[in-house]
Each structure stands twice: as C-alpha cells, then as structure tokens.
Structure 1
Amino acid sequence: MKILYGVQGTGNGHIARARIMAKAFAKRDDIEVDFIFSGRDPSRYFDMEVFGNYRTVTGLTFITENGEVNRWETLKQANIRQFIRDVKQLNVAKYHVLLNDFEPVTAWAAKMKDLSSISISHQAAFKHKVPKQGEAWTDRMLMRTFAPCDVNLGVHWYHFGFPIMPPFIEESYSKATKGEHVLVYLPFENVEAIKALLEKFPNEKFVCYHPDIDGPFATANSQWRPLSKQTFQQALFECAGVIANGGFELSSECLQLGKKILVKPLKNQYEQTSNRVTLERMNRCDSMDSLDPNIVSKWLSKDSPEPITYPNSPDILINWLLEGDYMDTKRLCEQLWKITRFPESVRMSLANGA
C-alpha cells in the first residue's frame, strides 16, 4: 500500500503526531509512505530524520504577532499563485490514499485528482459538535475549505459521541518525575514579554523553549533553549508543570504524564480557545488571556493531576487503513477508546459538562 501523508508544518504539534505515525509505519513491510510538509520555511524544520526523504512545499500558513493571529498579514502573505502551482504539479497517481493533517496542498491535489483522502487531525474534530469558543463563520469556512478530505477522523481528548479518535501518546506516566522547574513553551509570544513575566518569580526555576532563541543562555531564574525534540521531551518528563499556548499535542502529553498545565491560548485562534474549554471541562488546566503574574502565582501553588492513559501506538489505525473500508470509522474509534483510561475525576467532570 502506498500512502501520501500531508502535514501542516506551522505548528510542532502536527509534526509530533506525524512522527508517531512515521515510527509505526517504519516497522511495517506492507506500507510505503511519502511525507510532504508545508507552511514553514524549509530551514526551520528540525529533528526530521524519521520522515526519510520528505518533501516541502510552500502551502499556506498563519502569521502571528505578540501572541495573536494577524489575519490581515496572513491574507497578505498568502502566495495563492504558488499554492495553485504546487497543487497542479503534485503527482498523486501512484498512491492508494492520502492521509492529511490539515495540510492544504496535498488535500486539494487529492480532491482534484480523485485520490481517496482521510483527514487525521485535531481540526477535523471541530467539524462535529464538540466544545467550542469564539468560532466565527470565517472559522467554519476555513475548516471546510482549508484542507478538505473525503473522510474526517478527528483527534481529541474525548469523543463526545462522534467519530473522533484519542491522541496517540508514546510517553507514559512511568517516565515522569516531578522536578523543580516549570517548562515554558510560548512560541507565539514575544521573548521579552515572557522574560518580564518570569522575572516576577525569582524563587522559581523555569526552562524556556522558543523558536526565536538561536542558542542556550541563562537569566537569573530561567534557562533558555532553542527548539529540540530530545531536550524538550526530557525537560517535559522532569518538570513540575507546563505554561504553554493552547496547542493540542503538548497538552495531550501533559494529560498523560500527569503534569499540571497553565494555558494562554493564541488570540483569534478559536481552536486554541476551544481547547481551553475542553481542558477546563475535564478539570485539567488553568488559563489566562494575557501573561498575568497573579494567575501564574496561584497556579504555581497547585498540585499535579492524575494522569490519563491514551493509546501509545497507532497500529489499530494502520490495520484499519489496510482493510480499506474508510467509511467504517465507528468500529475504529470504539476500539481506540476501549484502551483509553480516564481517572474517575475526569469521568465525572465530563459527565457533568455533557
């Protein structure tokens, strides 16, 4: 079976999910997979060895400034001519199916050239009546037209009664320890603004990752590091908690590792504000709309939550792909939720919010 896999490269969460899939595919001798990434300058991808001879295209991306999506700049910098050229030039004839994680070039190429396509993304979950906040008609149009696929398999922390899969998380609670530092990952915020916030807590230790940091350095109470999957994961395993934007994959890892989370959703990005709503319904996060030291102070004093156990392997999904009955998503999702384990406190929170 030959699979084309399109991945949105704007955020590291899409790539993290694709890494888990790539590792599982590499163990099989009955599947060949080619990866295409878009939405990021090719020089800014890192730790990509698992994807083999992957390709990059320009695609479409979102422009952020100071923790907020700049819609005007996003529209102004969209290279529509290049996008159309990439779609037309992409040869999909040798593939049996497209897997797509919110990547527009491969999605539209598959649509135009009659290749079966399956969306395996967090964004696909928002096509259903899951908890949402701040959704505008432009958001609904974006979800329908940005990366359209024949089958939409959403990925979320709970199914809410829809064809939605749990996330695949390789890391287990057994790997986690509770160290002294707080991990800070706010890639859409200004570095100086983050520094100003953390300086208000001289007795705390912080480890901060940011895409604008070129090399490691230290301030009075903080270690600053460039993006690196390996060192980031170690800092995550050993941290006392995480301060982050409202992205899906990092929050998923925190849920499984039993790490407390303080989220500051990206403004004008309804996916992240909706993620906050679900995390709050599960009683698994605190949140802030700005870099608020008062909220940080209260959060720092809180205990760690009980972990959630999500599937650690996509083998059930891969076997389903090989069977070829792509419209039968119910059986697949039921199998995956059967091996997901929620603490009783989360079950009660979800039941009360239903």
Structure 2
Amino acid sequence: MKIFYAIQATGNGHISRAMQLYPYLKKFGEVDFFLSGSNASLNLDVPVKYTSKGCSLFYSACGGLDYWKITKNINLYNIIKEAQSLPIRQYDFVINDFDSITSLACKLQKVHSVQFGHQASFVSKLTPRPAKKSLMGEIVLQHFSSAPKNIGLHFENYDSFIRPPIIKEEIQLADPVDKKYITVYLPSFDRFCLEKAFNDLPDIEFHWFLNDITTKTTIRNVTYYPVNQTYFNESLISCHGIITGGGFETPAEALYLKKKILSIPIQNHYEQECNAAALKKMGVPVVYEVGNHFDKIIVNWLNSETINPEIKANCIPETLQYLFDTYND
C-alpha cells in the first residue's frame, strides 16, 4: 500500500505528531510525506517527498497574528496549480493533517481522503468553543482541509470520532519530577515582550524556548533554549509548570504529566481560543492578555491550586487501524 500523508507546517505540533506516527504507519505500507507551510522550527525526520509554501500563520511581536504577512504569503494561483499537479492518484490512501492544498487536490482529482488530527475534531459541534464564536474562524475550521472522513484528536472524547492526543513515547515512559523551574514555550511572543517580567521574579528559574536561540544560554534567572525536541522533553518532564500558548500538543503532554499549566492563546486565533475554552472547562487557568503586569499574573498562577485533570494517551496502533477501516467504509 502507498500512503500519502500531508502535514501542515504552521507550528510544530503537526510535525511532532507525524514523527511519532511514522514508525507505526510503515507497518501498513510505504509512506510519502507532503510538507505544506513554512514557519515550523522542528526538523522533520521522515521521508518528505513533496514540499510547498502552502498557507502559513505568522505572528506579531507580542502574542498576536500578523495578518498582513499571512495575506502577503498566500498565492492562490500557486495553490490551485499545486493542487492540480499533486500526484495523489498514485496513492492508495491519503491522510490530511490540516493542509488546504491536499484537500483541494482531492476534490479536483476526485480522490478519497481522511482528515486526521486535532483540527478534525472541530467538525463536531460538541467540541468546546469560546462564548463568542467567530464566523470566519468556524469557516476555516470546517473547510480549510475538509475531507469525506474525519478522525479528530482532542483532550477529551467529545464525539464518537474523536480520539485522545498522540503523546510522545518519551513523555509516556518518563518518570516526571519537580525541579521547581518553569518551562516557557510561547512562539508568538518575541523575547523583548516578556523578558522583563521573568527578570522581575529573580527567585523563579525559567527555561524559555525561543525560535531565534541557537545555543543554550543562561542569563540571570532565565535559561534560553533553542526549539529542540530533546531539550523540550527533558525540560517539560522535570518542570514545576509550563507557560504556553493555546495549542494542543504541548498542553496535552503537560496534562498527561500532571504539570501546572498557564495557557495564553494567541490573540484572535480562533482555534487556540477553542482550545482555551476546552482547557478552562477542565479547570486550567487561561490568560488572554499579559499586559504590563505579567510578573503578577505568574505569581498568582503559581499560588493558585494546581489542577490535574486526567487525560489518556492515544493507543496509536488501535487508532491507525480505525483510521484505515474508516477510510475504506
């Protein structure tokens, strides 16, 4: 069997999931990957056969989306041309993890596919949303990478086709400890936006992962790390808590390890607002703006009760078997 797997390379969660799934997928057949997008920072250790600039998100300096840069990097003519020429008819099975080009290619070339991943869970109206829904956000979630079949991943089983998160083996096999420091992963924030707040808390040690850091460096109470999966896994396993965005994979791993979490969703990022709504339902603190008093927000968070909702790790062989069975129904 020949398998085509499309990965959205906006952010690192899709890439991390693909690397975790690849050894299991190989048991079903030969896998070729299509990497669509241009702003992930993790190296992808799988056989990438096709690449595209795709549709990527870009961030402003301090926690928001850069809509001008997003719009400037979208070329509709190229997207349609790539969708028409993408050789998906050569494959027996098409898996789409939130890529618009693959979705369009399947429609134009009349090829069956399955949307698999976190975004697929939003096909269900039962998946948590914020109190104020976004019409445009809903359109994106419902149609950006739509497919005839959907298998979603989320914190909880909100609907029959939604499965637990893919948790990396390193996390599942870890023996978590508490070394009292705070891990920070906020890719939509530049260093200057938050550094003063961390330095104003000299008694707290921070491990801060930043895209523009190339070498691990400690300055005062902050150790700056490059975005590296090995470093990050080690930091998360031994931290007291993590300050992160409103993504899916990182909060899921932190929940699995029973770490204290502070979620700061990217401003006007509807999917992250939906994730934040789900986290809030589970009792996890969410902050929508850091302002000039982020140090006080951190102190209040650390002094608050730690919430440890139970989440399960995905049984990958079982989910993949379900995926292939669903595809052929």
The TM-score with structure 2 as length reference comes to: 0.91
The CA distance in 1 between the partners of 2:267 and 2:122, in whole Å, is: 18
Equivalent residue for 2:129? 132
- 2:303 is matched with 301
SS in 2 for 1:287: coil
Shift of 1:216: 2.4
State the distance in 1 between where 2:174 and 2:211 align.
29
Structure 1 residue matching 2:31: 3-state secondary structure: strand
Q: Match of 2:211, as an amino acid? A: P
Unaligned regions of 5+ residues in structure 1, if any? 328-354
Out of 152, 157, 160, the position equivalent to 2:158 is 160
CA-CA distance at 1:202 after TM superposition: 0.5
Aligned pair partner of 2:322 in 320, 330, 340: 320
Segments of 5+ residues of structure 2 without an aligned counterpart are none
Map of 1:38 onto structure 2: 36
1:61 partnered with 2:56: yes
Once the two structures are superposed, residues 244-271 of structure 1 have per-residue CA deviations (whole angstroms, 9 ceiling, x without a partner) of: 1111000000110111100111001011
Alignment check: 8 A CA contact 2:3 2:92 kept: yes
Partner residue, 2:209: 209
Question: SS at the partner of 1:119?
Answer: strand
| Structure 1 residue corresponding to 2:72, chosen from 71, 76, 83 | 76
Secondary structure of the corresponding residue to residue 24 of structure 2: helix
Structure 1 distance, partners of 2:160, 2:323, is: 19
CA distance in 1, matches of 2:18, 2:260: 25
Taking a change above 3 Å as real, the CA distance of residues 203 and 5 of structure 1, as seen in their structure-2 partners, is same
% identical equivalent positions = 28
Q: Quick one: which amino acid aligns to residue 35 of structure 1?
A: F
Q: Determine the C-alpha separation between the residues in 1 that align with 2:268 and 2:59.
A: 10
Post-superposition Cα deviations, 1:44-87, rounded to whole Å, max 9, x if no partner, equal 653322x1244321111122102111334322321222222211
Alignment match, 1:311: 313
**Any conservation in 1 of the 2:205–2:222 contact (CA below 8 Å)?**
yes
Query: Separation in 2 of the partners of 1:72 and 1:125?
Result: 28
Please show how residues 89-168 of structure 1 align to structure 2 within 5 Å. 89-129=85-125, 130-133=127-130, 134-168=132-166
Structure 2 vs 1, CA of residues 325 and 266 (structure 1 numbering), >3 Å: closer, same or farther? Answer: closer
- Under a length normalisation based on structure 1, what TM-score does the superposition of the two structures give? 0.85
Deviation of 1:9 (Å): 0.4
- Give the match's secondary structure for 2:261: strand
| Matched position secondary structure for 1:143 | helix
Looking at structure 2, the residues matched to 296 and 326 of structure 1 have their Cα atoms a distance apart, in angstroms, of 49
Q: Contact 2:116/2:150 (CA < 8 Å) preserved in 1?
A: yes
Instruction: Indicate the residue corresponding to 1:85 in structure 2.
Output: 81
State the Cα distance separating 1:94 from its structure 2 match. 1.7
**Post-superposition CA distance 1:8-55 (Å, at most 9, x none):** 1011111122122113224x1x412111111116xx653322x12443
Amino acid at match of 1:141: I
Point out 4+ residue stretches in structure 1 off by more than 6 angstroms. none
Residue matched to 2:6 = 6
Partner of 1:268: 268
Aligned residues: 322
